[in-house]
């Protein structure tokens, strides 16, 4: 892990401000969502990018009941179910 040398305090509402130069470098824009991970004693923030729940692919996604599924996964499931798809 690379240290930035930047230190920020948590305010009374639990917020931390990410410096503009860090946001620019990471491509984080206003209103972007961040995913939060915990590993050992670390909190890790990652720009949220929706992906297929089965393969992790981020291409050709469809929203199904609040989950992202790629067309390729849907076609594969149809084939596994023994059905045919007219393309």
**Spatial CB neighbours of 9, under 8 Å, sequence gap ≥ 6:** 16
Residue given tokens 């929203």 in the structure block: 63
Q: What is the pLDDT of residue 1?
A: 80
pTM over 0.85, yes/no: no
Closest residue by Cα to residue 52 from 37, 41, 62, 39 = 62
pLDDT digit string, tens, across residues 21-79: 999 999 999 999 999 999 999 999 998 888 999 998 989 999 999 889 999 999 999 99
**CA distance to 22, 39, 47, 75, per residue, from 82 (Å):** 49, 41, 38, 11
Confidence band (pLDDT; 50, 70, 90) for 13? very high
Pair 18, 36: CB distance under 8 Å: no
CA-CA distance, 83 to 75, in Å (whole number)? 10
């Amino acid at each position: 892990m690379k240290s930035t040398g930047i230190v920020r305090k948590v305010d009374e509402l639990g917020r931390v401000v990410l410096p503009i130069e860090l946001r620019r470098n990471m491509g984080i824009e206003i209103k972007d969502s961040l995913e939060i991970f915990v590993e050992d004693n670390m909190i890790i923030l990652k720009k949220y990018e929706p992906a297929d729940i089965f393969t992790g692919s981020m291409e050709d996604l469809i929203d199904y009941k609040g989950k992202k599924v790629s067309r390729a996964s849907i076609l594969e499931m149809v084939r596994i179910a023994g059905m045919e798809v007219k393309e």
